[in-house]
Amino acid sequence: MEPAAQLDAVKHYTIQKLGTDLTGHGLDHIRRVVKMTKRIAQEEPVDEFTAVVAAYLHDTIDEKLVMNVKEAQDELREFLRKIDFTQDQITTIMEIITQMSFAKTLDGDRPTLSAEGQVVQDADWLDAIGGIGIVRAIYFGGKHGERIYDPTIKPREQLSRQDYRDLSHETIINHFYEKLLKIKGLLNTATAKKIAEHRQQVMLDFLDEFKQEWDSNA
């Protein structure tokens, strides 16, 4: 199968898997991550095709979104084999999408990603910050019953992987301090770091305004 047809098939696979998602990992997220992957890939010495395929597929095996991660991975491997990806390509793609999530960077053992993986990770993480990031955090927090803000609950300094998934004491505002404001410093590529500067400021301005209004000072 030609690469263009492979990409088309991959796109349809993702639509079938995430088309009905309402957790903030829907097709709009995928579309932005793919577009950002292409934008960053133009500035970095990477294989754009591999990066774009991984961008499309990166959330189709996510532990939060599928019932059985191993089955989802097996199904994806089989699908890629059927549309003529080589074993090497499949290994490369699976390595990227199983190792790139933010949760994997917690507990002090951040996986080493390929150059293509670093680009897709940056594209995915950029979608968690800035204006879109603010909306996604609120959307996620609302869906999971988080409180908006509680000044008596301090942000957790060293977030473990277990803490990250423990939402019982989480507030939407604390999520900015525990994760979102840290993303800028964790990005891989110079291109993404540059894009993150404006988005960081948008979040800082938002938090500042929020707190002013919270105290009725604004």
Give the Cβ contact number of residue 128 at 10 Å. 20
Which residue's entry shows tokens 């499949």?
90
Start-end of H helices in 114-171: 115-126, 130-143, 161-165
Asked if 124 interacts with Ni ion (CB under 5 A), we say yes
Give the Cβ contact number of residue 132 at 10 Å. 17
Q: Given the complex with Ni ion, which of 147 and 165 has the nearer CB atom?
A: 165
> Residues in the site for ligand ADP, rule: CB under 6 A?
24, 62, 64, 101-103, 128, 133, 136-137, 140-141, 146, 167, 170, 172, 175, 179-180
Q: How far is the CB of 36 from Ni ion (least distance, A)?
A: 11
Q: Given the complex with ligand ADP, which of 85 and 106 has the nearer CB atom?
A: 106
What character string, x for contact with Ni ion (CB under 5 A) and - otherwise, covers 34-53?
--------------------
Going by C-alpha positions, the residue among 60, 203, 174 that lies closest to residue 166 is 174
Q: Given the complex with ligand ADP, which of 85 and 102 has the nearer CB atom?
A: 102
Query: Which class for 139: exposed (0-12), middle (13-18), buried (19 or more C-beta within 10 A)?
Result: middle
Q: Given the complex with Ni ion, which of 59 and 170 has the nearer CB atom?
A: 59
Q: For residues 63 and 21, give the distance between their C-alpha atoms in angstroms, rounded to a whole number.
A: 14
| Interface pick for Ni ion out of 59, 116, 122, 170 (rule CB under 5 A) | 59
Residue 184: contacted member of ligand ADP, Ni ion, none (CB under 5 to 8 Å, by partner type):
none
Give the binding site for Ni ion (CB under 5 A): 59, 124
